[in-house]
Amino acid sequence: MLRIGMLTSGGDCQALNAAMRGVVKGLAANVDELEVYGFENGYKGLIYGHYRLLTSSDFSGILTKGGTILGSSRQPFKLMRVPDENGLDKVEAMKQTYHKLNLNCLVILGGNGTQKTANLLREEGLNVIHLPKTIDNDIYGTDVTFGFQSAINIATDAIDCIHTTAASHNRVFIVEVMGHKVGWLTLYAGVAGGADIILLPEIPYDLDKVVDAIAKRSSQGKGFTILAVAEGAISKEDAALSKKEYKAKVAERKYPSVSYEIAAEISKKLGSEVRVAVPGHTQRGGSPCPYDRVLCTRLGAAAAKAIMDKEYGVMIAMIDNKTKRVPLGEVAGKLKTVDPNGQMIKEAKRIGISFGD
């Protein structure tokens, strides 16, 4: 009898169900006896023993279903070693649940924080496999994460929709795209949506350069400008502050987000109307796109093979369009950021896109 546990942790995305389905179908087609335990609401389920035995019917019809059938929650890695309000040792509790069910492996789907906890459990002696999920595409060691392409499609559609109203009213529009620490999603959606200015966390912007880019378009007879701005976009002045100073400044910010602050500053300098559109959590919702369905099916099947091979402590990555097993110890805690001097940035600049630098 092969017994595996599964959990989804952190922010949800469109293809979590597709990935779980890939794992289970990959095992069910090759293993005579299989039990799959689903832990509810991420690591909370593993900590507090909230789980259920899943059947084949649970994985039927979920390839196209967004969200996660197991539920999810955020459990900060930095608090994993801190006892809960009742003094419970979370790490020991997770290990006890794992051994109580006599699991052969725990399949963990999630982003960076989730991955760090998965690596912690590996260090504690549990058999774990991690599947890289995040719309931010910022997990080190894999070319692409599932959820990324689906989010690109939604963010791009938002920019497409803004184009028509911006052109009709000759306005400057800012579309705020998700991404606090990295700008992959904003970069791809910005290029795909034909944004004129793209502001990323990795490339601190100079507001005067942003204003100049808008003014240049106006002088060329182009009445509107579209800015794709990442949630974590930062000015050169703020980038020069210490982490503590910047955190204090953000806490005192009178605007809901950096996009509204940029809009106010542009409006003040140019005397023109600037509108902000925030697609928000729609970027994580809806059905997974065909690309993500294929990606998750492949990652899931590759995870199933790793389990059958008894090769644990790995992340199933996609590298050069091939599934690879990457040791968790080599990638956990690392962030994949946009290279300001990378080829895609240079190509975007070549066609006239401004990054405010």
Active site residues per annotation: 136
Q: Which two tokens stand for residue 351?
A: 């066609």
Amino acid in position 67: G
As a whole number of angstroms, the distance between CA 98 and CA 102 comes to 6
Q: What is the identity of the amino acid at 83?
A: P
Structure tokens belonging to residue 329: 């110890």
Q: How many alpha carbons fall within 13 Å on the CB side of residue 223?
A: 9
CB count within 10 Å of CB 330 equals: 12
Question: Count of CB atoms within 10 A of residue 82's CB?
Answer: 9
Distances (CA, A) of 81 to 39, 64, 88, 93, 207: 20, 36, 10, 11, 42
Burial class (CB in 10 A: 0-12, 13-18, 19+), 357: middle
112's tokens: 């960076």
Distance of CA 83 to the CA centre of its chain: 28
